[in-house]
């Protein structure tokens, strides 16, 4: 069974488009960050997003649009501050 699942996973990777590959790599990076990041954290992460919060936000919005995750608000502290939000990857159950 393990070999069968691995074969399906490998064939899926080989068949994916370049944009699909970029999305998969981004989701793997987010998963390593405990499944959620802000656009600012993404901007400081992978090289292709460095220096552009807009590019990071657009990539995360695309993942939301595709159904791979959602935005969650980050509450402000007692000190105040601006409202913010965090992208969180969908669970396996949510993807089915």
Q: What is the pLDDT of residues 10-39, one digit of tens each?
A: 887 777 777 778 888 999 999 999 999 999
Is a pLDDT exceeding 80 seen at residue 71? yes
Q: Are strands 36-37 and 69-74 parallel, antiparallel or unpaired?
A: unpaired
Would you call 60 exposed, middle or buried from its count of C-beta atoms within 10 A (0-12, 13-18, 19+)?
buried
Residue bearing tokens 């998969």: 24
Would you call 74 exposed, middle or buried from its count of C-beta atoms within 10 A (0-12, 13-18, 19+)?
middle
Question: If you count them, how many residues does the chain have?
Answer: 96
Q: Is the pTM of this model over 0.85?
A: no
């Amino acid at each position: 069974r393990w070999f069968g699942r691995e074969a399906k996973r490998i064939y899926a990777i080989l068949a994916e488009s370049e944009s699909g590959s970029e999305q998969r790599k981004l989701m793997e990076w987010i998963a390593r960050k405990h499944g959620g990041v802000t656009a600012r954290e993404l901007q400081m992460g992978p090289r292709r997003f460095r220096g552009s919060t807009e590019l990071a936000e657009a990539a995360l919005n695309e993942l939301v649009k595709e159904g791979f995750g959602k935005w969650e608000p980050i509450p402000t502290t007692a000190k105040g501050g601006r409202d913010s939000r965090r992208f969180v990857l969908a669970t396996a159950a949510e993807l089915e």
